[in-house]
Structure formats: C-alpha cells, structure tokens
Amino acid sequence: MPLANIPLLALSLFAAAPSDAPDEPPPVRIDVELEVTDAPQPPASVDPWTNAPEASAPEEPAGEGPPRADAPSIERRSDAPTSHERQEDPDPSDHGRGGVFAVSTGIASCAQPICTAARQGAIGRLAIGVRMGGSVEIGLDSSFARARAYRPSDYEADRGHIGLWDLVLGVRWNLLRRGRVIPHVGLGLGVSRITWRLAAPLLRWRQSVTRGLLRLSGGVDIRVSERVMIGPRIDQGLTFGGEACYHDSVDRGWCEKARKLFRGDGSFPNQTVRRATPRPWSVTISARFLF
C-alpha cells in the first residue's frame, strides 16, 4: 500500500466510529411567577456555628455624614456682627455727626422789678446746630417772648407789654448716648434785650435794657422716632454789662450804662442790686429734628 494513502484511511476510520457522547435532552421551558408580599424577610446572614441569625448593626440616623476631605469649609469671621447687634436700630445721635433743627414754645419772664408788672408771656425759639459726634452739639438759637404789662401811674389806662429777645451761641452735652430718654445740659453766651412799652392817652413811654447774657439750660429729650425727639427744657439767664435806653413822647430819648440803672447813686446794697438785675427765664417744650 502506498504511504500516501495511510492518512486518508485513518480519517475514514475516525469518521466511521460511533460517537460515545449521549444525546442532549431537548430544552425545557419553565414559567415562574413572583409575588411581592409584606411578609418579614429572613435574616440576611446566619451564624454557621450556632445556626442563629447574626445581629445586624444599628442603623445610623439620617443626617450629615463625616466631613469629606474635598468639601468646602465655611470660616466664620470674628468681626462679623452677631444677631443681637444686627437687631439694634441705628441711632444717628450715637457717635454721629450731622445737623439738628429745633423748635420750642412755652412761657417766659424775668421775675425782677423791671418785669413785675408783667405776667408770664408766651415764648418761641428757633435753633440750628451741628452734632460734633459723641455727646457734644454746638448751635445758635434765638427766642422772643411777649407779655402784657400794667404799670400804676397818674395816667389812666396805663397799659403796655414787655418783650424779651435773645440771641445765643451755645454748647450742649447729652448725658446719655443711648436709650429712649436722653437728659442734657447746656451753656450759652450771647446778647439779651428786655423792652418795656407803656401806652396811655397822654403819654407813650419805652424803656429797653440790652445786656450780655450767660444762659444755663437743662432738660430731657424723649425719642419718638429715629430722627425726632421731644422734651421739656428750662433756661435761666444771667445778664451783665450793656446799657439802658429811654424814650417818651416829649424827649427824643437817652441812654446810660445799665449798671447805673440798677445801682443808682450807690446807696443800695449789692444784694438789692443783684435782685434788681433782670434775669430772663423760660420753660419750654422742644421738638428736635436730626439730619
């Protein structure tokens, strides 16, 4: 047999041998239906030694987990205002600078012999100033008062009026910087004029005393809003220097030093002179507006 035919013979024998592998069964189709119920589920794991379910770790409450390394951090500034500070309203009179305008009304007189014939009269005052910051204010104010007067004399129906006028540059100090009630004191320097007029059928007569004025004041302001205050105020003036002038329907008038009017020829004691010197006073209600 030729050697070339040996491989063909072996291939034919291998193909002709019966297969030892069993026949595969045909595929079987199984339909499974699952039903979800609320029945408790078996434990997830069982201890192999005791055949008891292992205790599960307690669930952590929902919330923020541990901070992540890459999470942004929020830094609180130490100089940031607290909630209490943010709730406070700004107060323009606390360490503030700005202006102030005031209107006052009340009663006034001088309560000295030159004013004994007059009752207390009505007074009005206007003031404007500058708030220097903290508790100090500097301002200029002017007031005018008028009261009816009666002077007994030989003439019938001798009636007239007394007028008070002043112009003062003053300084005010607020004793409290915060709060609804703010007491204050003040000191002012200026000029004062007291005029007495008499009107009678046979005579018209006028006397005026113009003097320097040192004025002391004090009062309480009640805050009604952020920029409005209302409160009582008392002013007492001390006069010095100046001159007194007289005018009547006969003479053209003349003037003399005020100290001669009150001291006369020197026969009066100093206490009497001091009591005779006019010292205007007033009690008013003031409304102040901050801006």
| CATH number (domain holding residue 188) | 2.40.160.20
Angstrom CA distances, 39 to 9, 34, 36, stand at: 70, 14, 9
- Per-residue model confidence as pLDDT tens digits over 83-119: 555 444 555 444 478 999 999 999 998 867 667 666 6
For residue 210, give the amino acid letter: T
For residue 19, is pLDDT > 60? no
pLDDT (0 to 100) of residue 13: 47
In a domain, 101, yes or no: yes
For residue 178, is pLDDT > 90? no
In a domain, 39, yes or no: no
Task: Count CA within 13 A, CB hemisphere, residue 125.
Answer: 31
In a domain, 28, yes or no: no
In a domain, 130, yes or no: yes
In a domain, 23, yes or no: no
H or E element, residue 136: strand 136-150
pTM of the entire predicted model: 0.61
CA angle 165, 211, 251 (to 5 degrees): 85
Q: What gap in Å lies between CA 169 and CA 188, rounded to an integer?
A: 5
Domains: count for the chain? 1
Phi-psi category of residue 42: left, alpha or beta, with phi > 0 → left and psi -120 to 50 → alpha: beta
Phi-psi category of residue 266: left, alpha or beta, with phi > 0 → left and psi -120 to 50 → alpha: left
Q: What gap in Å lies between CA 244 and CA 242, rounded to an integer?
A: 7
Which residue range(s) make up the domain with 230? 97-287
Residue with the bigger pLDDT between 15 and 272: it is: 272
In a domain, 248, yes or no: yes
Task: Label residue 10 by pLDDT band (50, 70, 90).
Answer: very low
pLDDT (0 to 100) of residue 170: 97
In a domain, 16, yes or no: no
- Per-residue model confidence as pLDDT tens digits over 22-35: 556 666 566 555 55
In a domain, 191, yes or no: yes
